[in-house]
Amino acid sequence: NSFVARTNSCGELRSAHVGQEVTLYGWIQYQRQDLFLVLRDFQGLTQVIIPQDEAHSHVKKLLANAPVESVVRVTGIVCPRPLGQENPKMPTGDIEVKAETAEILNSCKKLPFEIKDFIKKSEALRMQYRYLDLRSFQLQHNLRLRSQVVMRMREYLCNLHGFVDVETPTLFKRTPGGAKEFLVPSREVGKFYSLTQSPQQFKQLLMVGGLDRYFQVARCYRDEGSRPDRQPEFTQIDIEMSFVDQAGIQRLIEGLLQYSWPKERGSIVTPFPSMTYEEALADYGTDKPDTRFGMKITDVGDSLRRLDVQFIQNALSYPRGTVRAICIPQGVRYLKNKDLESLKASAKSQFNQEIVEIICRPGGSLKSLLTKFLGEEQQRELIQVLNMQVDDVVLLAAGEHKQVCSALGSLRLESADLLEAAGLVLRDPRTFHFLWVVDFPLFLPKEENPTELESAHHPFTAPHPSDTSLLYSDPTKVRSQHYDLVLNGSEVGGGSIRIHSAEQQRFVLEKVLKEDPEVLSHLLEALEFGAPPHGGIALGLDRLISLIVDAPSIRDVIAFPKSFRGRDLMGNAPDYVTAEELEPYHIQVSCPLAEKEAKKS
């Protein structure tokens, strides 16, 4: 309550304050029969008794007629609530304030929706009136917890471990590879800035500059179009260190998260478990496994190798062929036929992968299209390998290793959604399973042209020390010193040890990625002036906080987010500009509709 006119906030009054005169400021949450109202501010609620005596008739008239969500000042005496009228659900439920004087500071017009967490509002309406949505207790809690976590992170990095908080430019130039960047016109003909998709190059240059330990709460920008639960502008906890290895970065982040973790969410255990990219793909079908539940992918190739079934024999004859399966516990009980058909259709449409189902019936026999090809011994072996119980459903796939694992990994998550919708709890949102995923490939084939390579992470990632020679002979087999941090099946951080040799960096850009090295001439030159070995990581703050508070979307932990299509529905951005405003930037809009709308605005 420092620096302001109130004596107390609306959430702090208790029985110890009885008899005191207090002044409260806040919003009217609701009124009842002109007898009392509930006043709300950032900290909580207080019940205010509207006086009924003639001497305070002006106060009664003022408060009884004030619309809900009007901003008021109330001065009065704290009193105990009458016996039996206490509200144990409210922290201030033992007291009430008897109003002596009041003032309407600002009256509220009719609201587009009620400011109550249990009232359902459309996402578009919430974003159009974001300043009203921010009054909800849930968003207030999310943003305040976010602030506390960031403050604790600053303490840990700067005060305890000597990191330097450095602001880096937002306006820069195009970076090879990675996500698409937003362009910003300049007054030089044909020249554009790019908004940085991360401070990657600048933090490496800070290491060349000898800062040793850098940190920033960094705003980043990526023009990724309409991607679900992504934002065109987002926030990273950005970190870089000199003379560090992968283990050092991992220990730093584990300590950082342990130090900044909200007490209300319990404690987290370190060190975090680790698995390789290949292990994650083989067991979970993804590089960001949700390890809160089982249903791991199982290799059943050996059990079915002697089976005289064409598609299985074909799969096992491929160099990277495999036969794998997931076991859905109690699938017969919780899933309907339409659910199983939906799962099979999903694998076909997304991965072009056929799925065969196997059901474990009472008595231990199996029901499947494969049953007639399976002898009793093979059935027993399959049941044992998959640890099948009665009423379990197995989804089996055969084909190329990555395709099969990716399809089954997707079905694993879809099955978990269906099981939970039917009442079986698999993923407790109150538990937090962190995981390091390491040993990613350094390069991947481009989707649009598989004969060319692109960086799996970014072009500045160093090769694994054991694979350095392969960089020059067979770059497709090189593992990287890249590491991802996964929490409950979501990637919340990613980083790497960087290339600090100008010669190696030039080779990667020019010979492997076929990029023009001149675009990064400033970085290549810097690496020639005694660049130290260095590495770093960036934590996705929006995603991390959304998982901590169990928010359905990252938009619920950002004060003013963009819509699914990247629009600001409150301010109606992006918007048209006139030809006169574009003239200094040497840009003309060729769309007649856009020109017409710009003239209107």
* pLDDT tens digits, one per residue of 487-510: 999 999 999 999 999 999 999 999
Instruction: Indicate the average pLDDT of the chain.
Output: 94
pLDDT of residue 363: 83
Whether the predicted pLDDT of 95 surpasses 80: yes
Residue 385 burial (10 A CB sphere; 0-12, 13-18, 19+): middle
* Assigned token pair, 343: 């799962």
Amino acid at the residue 334: Y
pLDDT tens for each residue of 20-57? 999 999 999 999 989 999 999 999 999 999 999 999 99
Which strand (E) or helix (H) includes residue 332? helix 331-334
Q: 592 pLDDT band (50/70/90 cuts)?
A: low
Q: Where are the domains of the chain?
A: 15-106, 141-275+434-556, 293-422
d(CA 27, CA 14): 20
Provide CB contacts within 8 A for 131, sequence distance 6+: 570
* Assigned token pair, 166: 């450095």
Evaluate the omega torsion of the peptide bond into residue 450 and state whether it is cis, within 30 degrees of 0: no
φ, ψ at 401 (rounded to 5°): -50, -55
Please give the distance of CA 582 from its chain centroid, rounded to a whole number. 36
Whether the predicted pLDDT of 300 surpasses 70: yes
Whether the predicted pLDDT of 228 surpasses 80: no
The SS3 of residue 248 is helix
Whether the predicted pLDDT of 475 surpasses 70: yes
DSSP state of 510: I
- What residue ranges in 337-426 does DSSP mark as E strands? 356-360, 366-368, 393-400
pLDDT tens for each residue of 191-206? 999 999 999 999 999 9
Whether the predicted pLDDT of 341 surpasses 90: yes
Q: What percent of the chain has pLDDT over 70?
A: 97
Amino acid at the residue 324: R
pLDDT tens for each residue of 536-573? 999 999 999 999 999 999 999 999 999 988 999 999 99
Instruction: Give Rg (Cα) of the chain.
Output: 30
Residue 189 burial (10 A CB sphere; 0-12, 13-18, 19+): exposed
d(CA 249, CA 466): 19
> Edge to edge, what strands does the sheet with 192-195 contain?
171-172, 192-195, 183-185
Whether the predicted pLDDT of 378 surpasses 90: no
Q: At what angle do helices 337-351 and 401-421 cross, to 10 degrees?
A: 150
Whether the predicted pLDDT of 214 surpasses 70: yes
Q: 125 pLDDT band (50/70/90 cuts)?
A: very high
pLDDT of residue 447: 87
Q: 600 pLDDT band (50/70/90 cuts)?
A: low
pLDDT of residue 116: 83
Q: What percent of the chain has pLDDT over 90?
A: 87
Superfamily of domain 141-275+434-556: Bira Bifunctional Protein; Domain 2 (3.30.930.10)
Whether the predicted pLDDT of 601 surpasses 90: no
Over range 323-330, report the average pLDDT.
Answer: 96
> Edge to edge, what strands does the sheet with 356-360 contain?
298-299, 321-328, 393-400, 356-360, 366-368
Sign of CA dihedral 441, 445, 447, 448: positive
Residue 106 near residue 70 (C-beta atoms within 8 A) = yes
- Domain boundaries 15-106, CATH class: mainly beta
Distances (CA, A) of 420 to 312, 404, 415: 32, 24, 9
> Edge to edge, what strands does the sheet with 490-497 contain?
164-165, 213-221, 233-242, 534-540, 490-497, 482-487, 434-438, 274-276
Nearest to 195 by CA among 230, 167, 166, 169: 169
Q: 595 pLDDT band (50/70/90 cuts)?
A: low
Query: Regarding predicted confidence, which is higher, 306 or 241?
Result: 241
> Within a 13 Å sphere around the CA of 470, how many CA atoms are in the beta-carbon half?
16
Amino acid at the residue 348: K
d(CA 570, CA 581): 23
Window from 252-266, 286-300, 353-367 with minimum mean pLDDT: 353-367
Do domains 15-106 and 141-275+434-556 share one topology? The answer is no
Whether the predicted pLDDT of 306 surpasses 90: no
pLDDT tens for each residue of 420-462? 999 999 999 889 999 999 999 999 999 889 999 999 999 999 9
Residue 420 near residue 429 (C-beta atoms within 8 A) = no
> Within a 13 Å sphere around the CA of 127, how many CA atoms are in the beta-carbon half?
21
Nearest to 358 by CA among 348, 367, 350: 367
pLDDT of residue 598: 60
Q: 599 pLDDT band (50/70/90 cuts)?
A: low
Over range 403-413, report the average pLDDT.
Answer: 98
Provide CB contacts within 8 A for 345, sequence distance 6+: none
Residue 483 near residue 245 (C-beta atoms within 8 A) = no
pLDDT of residue 175: 79
Over range 94-118, report the average pLDDT.
Answer: 94
Distances (CA, A) of 79 to 21, 49, 483: 10, 10, 58
pLDDT of residue 376: 85
Superfamily of domain 293-422: GAD-like domain (3.30.1360.30)
